[in-house]
Structure 1
Amino acid sequence: MAQWQLLQGDILLGELSEYGCDQPFFLARFVPGPGWECVRPLFEALAALRGPDPDGSRTAAAVKPLLDLDLTLVPVGGGRSLLQVFKDCWLRIDGVEARLRY
């Protein structure tokens, strides 16, 4: 299974280790890195979204600040391409659990 580093520039926000699949998402364990506390509230706001969002406005409002951070997922050990978060993939982190779709 794949392993990824979540980066903002060269700041390590955390690491993801895929362990399973719940189509269309890959399931991963998340281990926070040194830069995590600065972005944690933004990911918590996204994770807190529940219920219908017919026009997508609540989701867009939660994703926009994260998109502006220009986050990347870099594969550990190579073999895959770098992913721009919320451009090339969808990432949701809730505590130590992550869901990734690419």
Structure 2
Amino acid sequence: MTKAWLLMRGDVRVGELREYGVDQPTFLCHFVPGPGWESVSALFEARAVVQGPDPDGSRHAEAFRPLMDLGLTLHPSDGGAPLGCFRDCILRIDGDMARLRY
């Protein structure tokens, strides 16, 4: 059974993730934007461009902080408990692809 999650910001659906594979320990997903995507997409894009070595983690932390402040949650389609993004799981979205690790 393929897993799916709704990405939410409060009561606003930001998008949907649909698993298509696993690259342990990461779920590989297709991402379908929702009505709230436009308001957060620039933050995910800024995070996606941070590449390469980051010995003290400061560049990655700087890119993740605004995303953490959004209070995003992932709601599993099977009715399981929601996951707090960047608290219970790490989520990366780049275009129509997403990577989820929890």
Verify same fold: TM over 0.5.
yes
Which interval holds the TM-score relative to the shorter structure? over 0.9
Matches within 5 A, 1:8-23: 8-23=9-24
**TM-superposition CA deviations, 1:38-82 (whole Å, max 9, x none):** 10000011111111011100110011001011100001131x321
TM-score, normalised via structure 1 length: 0.96
Equivalenced residue count is: 101
**TM-superposition CA deviations, 1:18-50 (whole Å, max 9, x none):** 110112211000000001001000001111111
Matches within 5 A, 1:52-91: 52-78=53-79, 80-91=80-91
The runs of 4+ residues in structure 1 deviating greater than 3 Å are none
What are the ranges of 5 or more consecutive residues in structure 2 without an aligned counterpart?
Answer: none
Q: Distance in 2 between matches of 1:83 and 1:97?
A: 19
Alpha carbon RMSD of aligned pairs, Å? 0.8
TM-score, normalised via structure 2 length: 0.96
Q: Distance in 2 between matches of 1:15 and 1:31?
A: 5
Deviation at 1:91, TM superposition (A): 0.1
Letter in 1 for 2:38: E
Q: Distance in 1 between matches of 2:51 and 2:67?
A: 18
- Aligned residue for 1:42, secondary structure, equals helix
